[in-house]
């Protein structure tokens, strides 16, 4: 029973490029959450999605960031025109239902040069 | 406001007990969680406590909650080198999906 999978595990981008982070939830889970962890800080909620719907994106910057969770395939967090301040670990979690225990993936560590 | 605070670092000798502390500000929190993060890995839920409890024990782990002072602690008995990791406390509201995390306490266990 595979856990939450994220890829890539490490991603290096130059300023101005795009970053695409993928998350496959646990089997049977249709709720996905993205969190960002800046160095020396805790995780901060970004966005909550169910299949094909964004439920809450209140923690996501309005510019350059977008997220989707299509009917088929993984959830994608997309960051356009990356800047150095986007360097962080991005964690995805999934749950069976809203308010249920969230299971976390290993994270994608994004480095912007 | 929502804020969860933890001390940054704790070093203990193998076999000793570790106590990791956390304070939170939102009195409407329903659940308080402890997560463990090993190097390069995601967060693993260790234990949680409902806000109407003041203690929970699970094998080597003891969670104490002082709701009046909004203080949460995690005690690890007989700490082992495999316990070396970053420990996060987090608060959540009933049926809410948003977890509010502290900045984590790095536990180093010396042989």
At B64-103, the pLDDT tens digits run 999 889 999 999 999 999 999 999 999 887 666 788 899 9
Q: A67 and A34 in contact (C-beta within 8 Å)?
A: yes
What is the number of other CB atoms lying within 10 angstroms of the CB of residue B67?
15
CB contact under 8 Å between B101 and A48, yes or no, is no
Predicted pLDDT at B2: 60
Once rounded to an integer, what is the mean pLDDT over residues A32-51?
91
Q: Does A51 touch chain B (CB under 8 A)?
A: no
Shortest CA distance from A4: residue in chain B: B42
Q: And the tokens for B59?
A: 């094998």
Predicted pLDDT at B94: 64
Residue A1 has pLDDT above 60, yes or no: no
Shortest CA distance from A32: residue in chain B: B97
Give SS3 for B111: coil
Q: And the tokens for B9?
A: 């670092």
How does the average pLDDT of chain A come out, rounded?
93
Q: Could you tell me which residue, B30 or A55, shows the higher pLDDT?
A: A55
> What is the least distance, in Å, from the CA of B40 to any CA of chain A?
7
CB contact under 8 Å between B99 and A102, yes or no, is yes
- pLDDT band, residue B33 (cuts 50/70/90): very high
Q: And the tokens for B51?
A: 């806000």
Predicted pLDDT at B21: 96
Once rounded to an integer, what is the mean pLDDT over residues A5-19?
97
At B42-60, the pLDDT tens digits run 889 999 998 888 999 999 9
CB contact under 8 Å between A102 and B40, yes or no, is no
- pLDDT band, residue B28 (cuts 50/70/90): confident
Residues of chain A with Cβ-Cβ distance to B97 below 8 Å are 31, 33, 48, 55-56, 95, 98-99, 102
Predicted pLDDT at B90: 92
Predicted pLDDT at A26: 94
Q: Is A9 exposed, middle or buried (0-12, 13-18, 19+ CB in 10 A)?
A: exposed
CA distance A82 to A12: 10
> What is the least distance, in Å, from the CA of B38 to any CA of chain A?
10
Predicted pLDDT at B62: 97
Q: Does A45 touch chain B (CB under 8 A)?
A: yes
């Amino acid at each position: 029973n595979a856990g939450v999978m994220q890829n890539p595990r490490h991603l290096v981008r130059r300023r101005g490029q795009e970053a695409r982070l993928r998350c496959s939830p646990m089997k049977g889970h249709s709720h996905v959450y993205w969190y960002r962890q800046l160095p020396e800080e805790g995780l901060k909620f970004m966005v909550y999605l169910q299949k094909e719907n964004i439920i809450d994106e209140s923690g996501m910057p309005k510019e350059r960031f977008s997220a989707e969770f299509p009917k088929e395939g993984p959830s994608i967090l997309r960051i356009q025109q990356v800047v150095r301040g986007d360097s962080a670990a991005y964690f995805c979690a999934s749950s069976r239902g809203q308010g249920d225990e969230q299971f976390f993936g290993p994270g994608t560590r994004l480095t912007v040069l | 406001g929502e804020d969860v605070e933890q001390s940054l670092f704790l070093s203990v000798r193998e076999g000793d007990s570790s106590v990791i502390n956390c304070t939170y500000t939102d009195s409407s929190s329903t659940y308080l969680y402890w997560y463990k993060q090993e190097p390069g890995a995601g967060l693993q839920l260790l234990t949680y406590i409902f806000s109407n409890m003041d203690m929970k024990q699970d094998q080597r782990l003891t969670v104490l909650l002082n709701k009046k002072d909004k203080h949460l602690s995690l005690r690890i008995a007989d700490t082992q080198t495999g316990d070396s990791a970053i420990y996060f406390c987090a608060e959540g509201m009933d049926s809410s999906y948003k977890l509010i995390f502290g900045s984590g306490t790095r536990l180093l266990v010396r042989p």
